[in-house]
């Protein structure tokens, strides 16, 4: 039963990876493409790590650290991209001249 659940998580992770890559071929904005890619990549990677956690439970500290790192770094990357898109609009506040 654990093997079936593990394979299901691994396959689900691969599906998310391909599902996130598909919008790159569309005609939408670059930000939409990056957002969909990063969300699907994060979910797919987390599903793969959960599948690995089910297969090798003795490595749980490392795999839980991988899940936490994926969640934090992909969220930070999203904020950095959003900040870079806003340009200099946030720097005008509080400056004279």
pLDDT in tens, the chain (97 residues): 999 999 999 999 999 999 988 888 888 888 788 888 888 889 999 999 999 999 999 999 999 999 999 889 888 887 787 788 776 555 555 555 5
pTM for the structure as a whole: 0.77
Phi-psi region of 94 (alpha: psi -120 to 50; beta: other; left: phi over 0): left
Question: Angle 33-38-75 (CA atoms, 0-180°, nearest 5)?
Answer: 125
Which strand (E) or helix (H) includes residue 69?
helix 60-86
- Count CB-CB contacts under 10 A for residue 19: 16
Question: Per the structure block, which two tokens stand in for 24?
Answer: 């790159």
- Name the nearest CA neighbour of 17 among 3, 2, 30, 36: 36
Helix 30-55 vs helix 60-86: angle between axes, to the nearest 10 degrees?
170
Q: According to the model, what pLDDT value does residue 53 have?
A: 94
Q: According to the model, what pLDDT value does residue 48 have?
A: 95
Q: According to the model, what pLDDT value does residue 21 have?
A: 86
């Amino acid at each position: 039963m654990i093997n079936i659940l593990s394979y299901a998580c691994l396959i689900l992770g691969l599906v998310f990876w391909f599902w996130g890559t598909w919008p790159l071929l569309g005609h939408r904005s670059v930000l939409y493409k990056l957002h969909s890619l990063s969300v699907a990549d994060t979910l797919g990677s987390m599903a793969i790590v959960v599948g690995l956690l089910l297969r090798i439970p003795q490595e749980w500290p490392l795999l839980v650290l991988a899940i936490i790192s994926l969640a934090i770094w992909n969220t930070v990357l999203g904020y950095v991209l959003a900040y870079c898109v806003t340009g200099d609009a946030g720097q005008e506040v509080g400056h004279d001249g």
